[in-house]
């Protein structure tokens, strides 16, 4: 049976965006992340993270450092009894022209197959246009987290945080 998922970008969506983050001690959940994820969990969504981590390809961090940051995100969420099913990341810099860097659909297609994701009932939530293009390319509904939700967005919906995203998703489910 296929599952409804929320695919999430990491930096600027779940945690405070720090350019080229390599120190797991600096990981800080954004406001309303826990409340938003708990709300979505109550709607029977599962969670996965798909993130570009060019910090590796640029030589500014090792895979181990990025994985430590990812583990810190998981630890902070697990303290709140929230479970992330998977984290997939592209380690390449933009100039490396790989197939796995968002907005390329490769990691999304992999997640759909491996985790039996129902694209009709699942969402991609991210802060960058590349997240939204990525979500659309794999057939998901899209929500953009932005400080300027009233600006034009490529996403179906734009809002300020994960709690507002969850409220929107619930309203869409009620519409049927």
The CATH number of whichever domain residue 104 belongs to comes to 3.40.50.1000
Selecting among 11, 127, 131, 161, the annotated active-site residue is 11
pLDDT at 53: 98
Annotated catalytic, 9?
yes
- What number of CA atoms fall less than 13 Å from residue 160's CA on the CB side? 5
pLDDT at 103: 98
Selecting among 9, 127, 131, 161, the annotated active-site residue is 9
pLDDT at 149: 67
pLDDT at 151: 77
Parts of the chain with a pLDDT under 70: 149
Rounded-to-integer distance, Cα 154 and Cα 62, Å: 32
Tokens read off for 41: 């969990």
Annotated catalytic, 11?
yes
Residue range(s) defining the domain that contains residue 112: 5-175
Split into its structural domains, the chain has a count of 1
């Amino acid at each position: 049976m296929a599952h409804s998922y929320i695919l999430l970008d990491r930096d600027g969506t779940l945690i405070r965006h720090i350019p080229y983050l390599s120190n797991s001690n600096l990981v800080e959940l954004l406001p309303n992340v826990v409340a938003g994820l708990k709300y979505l969990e109550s709607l029977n969504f599962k969670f996965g993270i798909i993130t570009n981590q060019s910090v590796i390809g640029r030589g500014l961090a090792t895979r181990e450092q990025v994985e430590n940051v990812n583990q810190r995100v998981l630890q902070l969420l697990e303290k709140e009894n929230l479970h992330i099913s998977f984290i997939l990341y592209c380690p390449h810099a933009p100039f490396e022209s790989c197939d796995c860097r968002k907005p390329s659909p490769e990691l999304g297609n992999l997640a759909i197959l491996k985790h039996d994701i129902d694209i009709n009932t699942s969402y991609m939530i991210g802060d960058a246009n590349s997240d939204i293009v990525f979500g659309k390319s794999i057939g998901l509904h899209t929500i953009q987290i932005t400080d300027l939700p009233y600006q034009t967005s490529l996403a179906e919906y734009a809002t300020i945080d994960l709690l507002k995203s969850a409220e929107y998703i619930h309203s869409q489910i009620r519409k049927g």
